[in-house]
Amino acid sequence: MEKIQFFGNKRANILATGGSGSGKTVAACNTFFKMAMDGGVALGDDIRFDLIASGNSAGGDIHDFAEKYRDMIKGTLPVGSTDDHIYDFAFRRNGERLCQIRWMDYRGSLRTTDYDDGDWEHFFEMLERATLLIYIISGELINDYISIKDGSLTGEKKALKRIDISEEVSHINTLMEKTKELRGSGDETPVLFYVTQSDYIKYDDDNRKLEEIISFLRANELLKKGRKILCCHSTLGRDIRLSEERNNIVAGFAPEGFEIPLMLTVGYALSEAGKEWEQEENAKIDAAIAEQELAVFNKMEKKGALANQFQTRLLKILKMEREDIRRLEYQIQKAKEEIGELKVEQEKMKQNNTLKKYSQDILNYVRSGGYACLVDEKGDRVPLDEFFK
């Protein structure tokens, strides 16, 4: 097995912000099962990624997730959360632990009133440390936006849906401002707009869904400058049918896309850790190269001074001095060779940056699914590869 070359555990923090009923708990549970069942997810024949529960409450967490998942298979959806919950996971690649993950699933009621000071502190702490800034938008809202745009919603219904959209956008803007306050205005943490319940979007094609999500973001001025902006979507089933109260699944349970926010988060964390490691190694090798270059410079000066001396004195060079020059020439040659070897080592080190390589594998996995895209501040699509650069 390949050896990991970083020091200590890399960490990723996940906080997907969204209102009550936006699908946070469904997302946590389905992500866990997608990544824990059948040995996780695969990239080609040789690479597998999976998730294990870790930490003191691992046993209880697995049990809770299993209960919820069993209920969903039998047709019952989770009731709204009454408490916040922190999950600890370890992300693995071919059985090797790569990254510790802390995932906060909070009760969306924080948008109403029942959060006390302690709850807020907890939430803000997570907002400050989250690896990506994830904003959940319901697929139903995106569909309302489409229906307003294409004229299929009119009159009072349209007016009401416009308020719903504006309420949601206001929440996101407020959160964005709060995040800036906590992390400083120079913060460049990437933003992920995560559309849950994407079965509500009237177009089945994934690309079309993503186009409509981007159109929504553009129309509502949510594409901020100076940041990488990602979009993705998930659903409990493309053709899912729920009961009228929406607490039961009538047919079509076939979850899709839930692992994508996790994969994007871990990929980004590993790529940042890889960059950090490379910078540290580079600095060490750069220092060694500078030392050798200084040695070459000093010896050239000494050699120059000796040669100069003979010329000005018009003396014949002494045997002892000739040996001095030869010794200096030899040392200069050796130092130059050493510099060459250090430069080769530097190149090799960059190629052996396994953290970057692993993050690239994760990106390749995400790209193969078509549930996510990267856009610039104008909303134009950019190749997903640019995300980790």
From 76, 81, 94, 331, residue interacting with Mg ion (rule: CB under 5 A): 81
Rounded to whole angstroms, how far apart are CA atoms 196 and 209? 12
Toward ligand GTP, which CB reaches closer, 179 or 234?
Answer: 234
What are the backbone angles phi and psi of residue 15, rounded to the nearest 5°?
A: -135, 110
Q: How far is the CB of 78 from ligand GTP (least distance, A)?
A: 4
- Among the candidate windows 16-24, 37-45, 226-234, 337-345, which touches Mg ion by CB under 5 A? 16-24
Toward ligand GTP, which CB reaches closer, 12 or 104?
Answer: 104
Q: How far is the CB of 189 from ligand GTP (least distance, A)?
A: 22
Residue 265 touches which member of ligand GTP, Mg ion, none, C-beta under 5-8 Å by kind: none
Q: How far is the CB of 105 from Mg ion (least distance, A)?
A: 6
Toward ligand GTP, which CB reaches closer, 115 or 124?
Answer: 115
Give Cβ neighbours of residue 149 (< 8 Å, ≥ 6 apart).
215
Give Cβ neighbours of residue 248 (< 8 Å, ≥ 6 apart).
75, 76, 77, 242
Toward ligand GTP, which CB reaches closer, 42 or 73?
Answer: 73
Residue nearest to ligand GTP (CB): 108
Q: How far is the CB of 30 from ligand GTP (least distance, A)?
A: 8
Residues at the contact surface with ligand GTP, assessed by CB under 6 A: 18, 20-26, 77-78, 80-81, 107-108, 196-197, 199, 235-236, 240, 242, 246-247
Toward Mg ion, which CB reaches closer, 105 or 212?
Answer: 105
Residue 197 touches which member of ligand GTP, Mg ion, none, C-beta under 5-8 Å by kind: ligand GTP
Toward Mg ion, which CB reaches closer, 17 or 359?
Answer: 17
Q: How far is the CB of 23 from ligand GTP (least distance, A)?
A: 4
Quick note: the x/- pattern for Mg ion over 20-59, rule CB under 5 A, is ----xx----------------------------------
Toward ligand GTP, which CB reaches closer, 201 or 217?
Answer: 201
Toward ligand GTP, which CB reaches closer, 156 or 244?
Answer: 244
Q: What's the sign of the alpha-carbon dihedral 161, 164, 170, 175?
A: negative
Q: How far is the CB of 213 from Mg ion (least distance, A)?
A: 22
Residue 26 touches which member of Mg ion, ligand GTP, none, C-beta under 5-8 Å by kind: ligand GTP
Residue 196 touches which member of Mg ion, ligand GTP, none, C-beta under 5-8 Å by kind: ligand GTP
Q: Which of 149, 205, 199, 217 is nearest to 381 (CA)?
A: 217
Q: At what angle do helices 354-369 and 260-313 cross, to 10 degrees?
A: 140
Residue 201 touches which member of Mg ion, ligand GTP, none, C-beta under 5-8 Å by kind: none
- Please report, for residues 96, 192, 284, 289, 345, the alpha-carbon distance to residue 342 in angstroms, rounded to integers and kept in the order given: 31, 40, 10, 7, 5
Count of C-beta atoms within a 10 Å radius of residue 92: 17
Q: How far is the CB of 84 from ligand GTP (least distance, A)?
A: 9
Q: How far is the CB of 243 from ligand GTP (least distance, A)?
A: 9
Quick check: 17 binds Mg ion (CB under 5 A)?
Answer: no
Q: How far is the CB of 59 from ligand GTP (least distance, A)?
A: 22
Toward ligand GTP, which CB reaches closer, 13 or 197?
Answer: 197
- Give Cα 260 distance to the centre of its chain: 10
Contacts with Mg ion by CB under 5 A lie at 24-25, 81
